[in-house]
A and B are shown apart, each in its own frame.
Chain A
């Protein structure tokens, strides 16, 4: 006999997480809270992949990684890292000291920004007097000749066949340009003063975008040899963290400010795109340290990872929130690790830690041997409105056949005592024609998504679920869940909460 009940479907969660709204005001395709989970293209939520050491031995006796990247030099793809007071060629996971005679000052905050200038890597950190350059192969890094025009530049870009540096020692509002085709020739008057401290440089469309906290300025080529570039202030808001400027396909420049993450599409205005991170997430960030935040663009997934300091006194970047360009939504954070620099290496996000290691992310189901603590919480929806009491019966969860793992499902509501149920996912039987043995094997189900039911309890107009798995080497992918309930009708509540 069928169960006399109605069904509330939660998910797919294509709207991602929304920290700015209470759970009651989020829709069925939004999430109230999460950590260490990914929202996929179909709106499914998966436990994030883990990370593993890229270099098996710590660089520079376990010093902090302050810069990381991968470029093609002399036709060879090179992975490099700054670690403590040294510069390493870390291609393939083997670190080779290429510091040479350059001066590199160790310090967690002396992070490096770099650019591929033609066939030369140029990097600056705002602390050491000279920028350094590296041409790859077996050569060591060397000091960039800047004709003694400036020192300690903080930002660097390569555009219009010129090298550009910004925010130099004593002239923080200044942007210098090299001669065309010669990154080591700098004329005495080849600079622009903006009046505000330069916070970032990045080519954008047909301009060089120069960020200050108080606006984005652009340089546009004029074609005139006497006045080769026209300077123009385009917006009234720019980034506070140069390492967070990311330009993504569709020509959108995404960057961080103290109150959130913005995008600029080249017009006269910037637009805040991180409202969903306000309140319950953003208010917990240490805004004083946001200028040290950094970001990377993950092309394969069309994601931008922002590494942020979560905790009002948190100094290092311990929380990664992710913007999905495909879904135009946010998810994360990824946490339980700290990072100081990040880059795409071999098409996968890598990030440097504070112990001499570059960590390869999006790898495996553990964090270098430690369990990943992944969870997400759905919206708290009243299917028939706030006045109609419902008896919650059970929920049917649709999940991918990723492994024979347990998943905890916690039910919560104002009038319902929190309750945890466990479902076992997966169906790792034997595959026909591969490992299946008659009379001994269980035939594996070849359907990717499976379902199972778990109990719900209590009476309340609304309820929400939390899915979690904190076990090592275990993962999950939840596509949606259907909550079965029986409408009771209008009832008076005598007290607030459990009764």
Chain B
């Protein structure tokens, strides 16, 4: 569906004129609000993506792409090695005056820059132009009227799009004082999100996960050790 199709279906269900710019603007605001809500629910596969930036000699901090919500991993593509995520305290402890330069091995999340993009620091401070690749969960930018005729498919998979409609109608009915109607639509939204969540969990196909053994030399939050013996 396109943005405008979602808006007009929602307006029709709320009982508002589907061509009024006032109502379309209101519905678009709610589309963006509902979208933020859904995006934050879990680590959606459809939000997973990657990007790169290029280091500059003697420059320690870099801004990631504007749609980065949660960075997951970094790697130095040029030098062909992983960059480990550390804390800023670790970098400060290793090089308090940021005077050491070389091939960056660590990365720390600094916060955001003046444009709201996530900012990172590298250690050692790069001494040359390296391509740094990173994977992250993105956030979907707010839609504007100019994007009304664009397809939603690059942003939200089909399975989640009905939730956007129900979310808009719920918020709009709430605005109009129809709490009962809003509750019904909110339930519909939750039902669709639940279905999408199950689909998100199965996105890896038939791959199964199991807890790692404590003696497999891999770092992990959990481990178990089979114990020989019998319960009898």
Interface residues of A (CB under 8 A from B): 389, 391-393, 416-417, 419, 456-459, 486, 488-491, 498-499
5 A-B contact pairs sorted by A residue (CB < 8 Å): A391-B15, A391-B176, A419-B17, A458-B15, A486-B178
In the complex the two chains form, is B16's CB within 8 Å of A457's CB? yes
- Highest count of chain A CB atoms <10 Å: which of B15, B17, B22, B176: B15
In the complex the two chains form, is B19's CB within 8 Å of A459's CB? no
Name A489's closest neighbour in chain B (CB-CB). Answer: B177
In angstroms, how far is the closest chain A Cβ from the Cβ of B127?
A: 58
Question: Which 6 pairs of residues, A with B, have the shortest CB-CB distance?
Answer: A417-B17, A491-B177, A417-B20, A488-B177, A459-B176, A498-B22
Taken together as a complex, chains A and B put the C-alpha atoms of A392 and B14 apart, in Å, by 10
Inter-chain contacts of A488 with B (CB < 8 A): 176-178
Having A391-B178, A459-B15, A498-B23, one finds 16 other A-B pairs with CB under 8 Å, namely A389-B176, A391-B15, A391-B176, A392-B15, A393-B15, A416-B17, A417-B23, A457-B16, A457-B17, A458-B16, A459-B176, A486-B178, A488-B177, A491-B176, A498-B20, A499-B22
Name A492's closest neighbour in chain B (CB-CB). Answer: B177
Contact with A along B13-30 (1 / 0, CB 8 A): 001110110110000000
Q: How many of B's residues come within 8 Å of A, CB to CB? A: 10
Inter-chain contacts of B19 with A (CB < 8 A): 417
In the complex the two chains form, is B17's CB within 8 Å of A458's CB? yes
Tell me the chain B residues, 1-38 only, with Cβ under 8 Å from chain A: 15-17, 19-20, 22-23
Inter-chain contacts of B176 with A (CB < 8 A): 389, 391, 459, 488, 491
Inter-chain contacts of B16 with A (CB < 8 A): 417, 457-459
In the complex the two chains form, is B178's CB within 8 Å of A417's CB? no
Interface residues of B (CB under 8 A from A): 15-17, 19-20, 22-23, 176-178
Inter-chain contacts of A458 with B (CB < 8 A): 15-17
Main secondary structure of the interface of A (DSSP, over half): strand
In angstroms, how far is the closest chain B Cβ from the Cβ of A267?
A: 55
Total number of residue pairs linking A and B with CB closer than 8 Å: 38
Taken together as a complex, chains A and B put the C-alpha atoms of A123 and B196 apart, in Å, by 89
Inter-chain contacts of B20 with A (CB < 8 A): 417, 498
In angstroms, how far is the closest chain A Cβ from the Cβ of B24?
A: 11
Inter-chain contacts of A459 with B (CB < 8 A): 15-16, 176-177
Inter-chain contacts of B23 with A (CB < 8 A): 417, 498
In angstroms, how far is the closest chain B Cβ from the Cβ of A4?
A: 9
Inter-chain contacts of A392 with B (CB < 8 A): 15
Name A456's closest neighbour in chain B (CB-CB). Answer: B15
Name B20's closest neighbour in chain A (CB-CB). Answer: A417
Taken together as a complex, chains A and B put the C-alpha atoms of A457 and B13 apart, in Å, by 10
Inter-chain contacts of A457 with B (CB < 8 A): 15-17
Inter-chain contacts of A491 with B (CB < 8 A): 176-177
Inter-chain contacts of B177 with A (CB < 8 A): 389, 459, 488-491
Taken together as a complex, chains A and B put the C-alpha atoms of A498 and B16 apart, in Å, by 11
Taken together as a complex, chains A and B put the C-alpha atoms of A490 and B178 apart, in Å, by 10
Name A391's closest neighbour in chain B (CB-CB). Answer: B15
Inter-chain contacts of A499 with B (CB < 8 A): 22
In angstroms, how far is the closest chain B Cβ from the Cβ of A247?
A: 52
Inter-chain contacts of A391 with B (CB < 8 A): 15, 176, 178
Taken together as a complex, chains A and B put the C-alpha atoms of A213 and B76 apart, in Å, by 103
Name A459's closest neighbour in chain B (CB-CB). Answer: B176
Inter-chain contacts of A456 with B (CB < 8 A): 15
In angstroms, how far is the closest chain B Cβ from the Cβ of A394?
A: 10
In angstroms, how far is the closest chain B Cβ from the Cβ of A458?
A: 6
Name B19's closest neighbour in chain A (CB-CB). Answer: A417
Inter-chain contacts of A489 with B (CB < 8 A): 177
Name A394's closest neighbour in chain B (CB-CB). Answer: B15
In the complex the two chains form, is A417's CB within 8 Å of B22's CB? yes
Inter-chain contacts of B17 with A (CB < 8 A): 416-417, 419, 457-458
Taken together as a complex, chains A and B put the C-alpha atoms of A370 and B225 apart, in Å, by 94
Taken together as a complex, chains A and B put the C-alpha atoms of A419 and B17 apart, in Å, by 7
Taken together as a complex, chains A and B put the C-alpha atoms of A115 and B94 apart, in Å, by 120
In angstroms, how far is the closest chain B Cβ from the Cβ of A412?
A: 11
In angstroms, how far is the closest chain B Cβ from the Cβ of A463?
A: 12
Taken together as a complex, chains A and B put the C-alpha atoms of A491 and B178 apart, in Å, by 10
Taken together as a complex, chains A and B put the C-alpha atoms of A436 and B176 apart, in Å, by 51
Name B23's closest neighbour in chain A (CB-CB). Answer: A417
Inter-chain contacts of A490 with B (CB < 8 A): 177
Taken together as a complex, chains A and B put the C-alpha atoms of A106 and B17 apart, in Å, by 57
Taken together as a complex, chains A and B put the C-alpha atoms of A44 and B17 apart, in Å, by 29
Taken together as a complex, chains A and B put the C-alpha atoms of A473 and B25 apart, in Å, by 42
Name A488's closest neighbour in chain B (CB-CB). Answer: B177
Taken together as a complex, chains A and B put the C-alpha atoms of A498 and B25 apart, in Å, by 12
Inter-chain contacts of A498 with B (CB < 8 A): 20, 22-23
Name B11's closest neighbour in chain A (CB-CB). Answer: A457
Name A494's closest neighbour in chain B (CB-CB). Answer: B175
In angstroms, how far is the closest chain A Cβ from the Cβ of B84?
A: 52
Name B172's closest neighbour in chain A (CB-CB). Answer: A459
In angstroms, how far is the closest chain A Cβ from the Cβ of B82?
A: 54
- Highest count of chain B CB atoms <10 Å: which of A389, A488, A489, A490: A488
